[in-house]
Amino acid sequence: MTVISICFDYLWLIKGKQTTLFVVNQMLQIELDLKNATKLLKQPEGQKNTIFDNFILLGLKLFLFIGYFLTPLLSVILMVNGLDPQFYFVEYVMRTYPLISFLARAVTFKRRLLLHVSLLMG
C-alpha cells in the first residue's frame, strides 16, 4: 500500500505538475472573471434601495438571527424532555449490532461515563 501511495504521489506531484498548475490558473481566472462580472451587475450610483427592499433585508436578517439563536436552545429543550432522536438511534444500533457496542466500549476503555459523554457529544 505504501509503494502504491508513493508512486501515486510521485506521478501527481512531479509528473503532473504542469496539469496541476494549469488547473489552479484556470480556477483563479474563473474567479477573476466572476468578480469582474459582479462589478458590472452592481446598482448604479443614482439608484437607492426602496423601503420594500429594506424590509425584505431586515426580515431575512431577523429570520437568520432567530434561527441561530433558537436552534441550540430548542435542541437542549428537546433533549431535556426526552425527544432527542439521536438517543433512540444510538440505543437501537447498540442493541442490534453487538460488535459496534463492543467497539464503542473498547474505545472508551469500558468506562460508562466516558461512553455516555462521547455519545452525547455525537
pLDDT tens column, 71-84:
888 888 887 888 87
1 pLDDT higher than 70: no
- Taking the alpha carbons at both ends of the chain, their separation in whole angstroms is 32
Question: How far is 68 from 57, CA to CA, in rounded Å?
Answer: 17
- Proportion of the chain above pLDDT 90, given as a percent: 13
Which among 117, 93, 96 is positioned nearest to 107, based on CA atoms? 117
pTM across the whole model: 0.36
Three-state secondary structure call for residue 16: coil
| Same domain for 114 and 89 | yes
Domain extent, residue 94, equals: 84-122
- Residue 74 and residue 92 in one domain: no
Average pLDDT over residues 92-100: 90
Do 11 and 32 share a domain, yes or no?
yes
Rounded mean pLDDT, 46-62: 87
Domain tally for the chain? 3
